[in-house]
Homo-oligomer: A and B are copies of this chain.
Amino acid sequence: MTGPEPGSGPIGGSGAGSDTGAPEQSSDTSRLETFSDGVLAIAITLLILEVRVPPDVPGRDLGRAVLHQWPSYAGYAVSFLTIGVIWVNHHHMFKLIARTNHPFLMINVVFLMAIAFLPWPTTLVADYIRDPDGRRVAAVVYGLTMVAVAVMFCVVWFYASWRGRLLNGELDREALNRTYRSYLLGPVVYGSAVVIALFAPLVSLAIYAALAVYWLLPGTGPRA
């Protein structure tokens, strides 16, 4: 909307990283978390709009028509759990982040842009899973969206944790490295599933579903 802004210049001159600005900065993180939660909550709830009511089916065939739509319910469940897991992880990540700055807010907006896109490939998969050619395209598109989400998740973390830029206190260097490596798994796993989708779309769809369920299980995520 506008170029420079009240925060810039002498007025709001508590630059990112200044220690004195701490309370202001943490209020920043809280508004960023609220906004992110809002977008995630809306994207997750909009998924139901993609499940359609069978139109004008004779009553006696409704049961079959409802069952026939199983890919819609499966897509709803997989994408819901996936976004839910991302919310939990985003949430844990932000326990370690104490400050924000302008580029970090913008990186988060791009991250949210990738996630809020997910309802669309979800419908694409549900609508074309029965067509052998169609489901190849749909599985690739779904996977590419997840790659974008996983890459942006890494970017958010790398930006915040690079030299402890926005982090909360001193952190164990070794633990940070382990976290880096575990986050990098996301793009690798989803990237592989995209390649698999070219040859065996149903296998890659099964991988997306398995990942959502796997991360849901106790012991696979953070402990606190």
Contact = CB atoms under 8 A, between A and B. Distances in A.
A210 interface: no
Contacts of A98: none
Interface string A76-106: 1100111011111101110110000111011
Nearest to A94: B31
B179 A224 contact: no
Contact of A31 (B11, B33, B110, B132): B33
Interface residues of A, number: 111
Contacts of A128: 59, 62
Q: Which of A14, A60, A149 has the most B CB atoms < 10 Å from its CB?
A: A60
Contact of A116 (B9, B16, B48, B82): B48
Given A66-B141, A89-B2, A96 B12 contact: yes
A178 interface: yes
A4 B178 contact: yes
B117 A76 contact: yes
A182 B138 contact: no
* Main secondary structure on A side of the interface with B: helix
Interface string A208-224: 00000001101011111
B220 A92 contact: no
Q: Which of A10, A31, A43 has the most B CB atoms < 10 Å from its CB?
A: A31
Nearest to A84: B109
A87 to B, nearest CB: 6
A200 interface: no
Nearest to A47: B116
A84 B113 contact: yes
Contacts of A35: 37, 40-41, 87
Contacts of A183: 2, 5
Contact of A215 (B3, B9, B136): B3
A137 interface: yes
Contacts of A27: 95
Contacts of A221: 3-5, 7-8, 102, 106
Contact of A135 (B10, B59, B123): B59
Contacts of A109: 80-81, 84-85, 87-88, 216
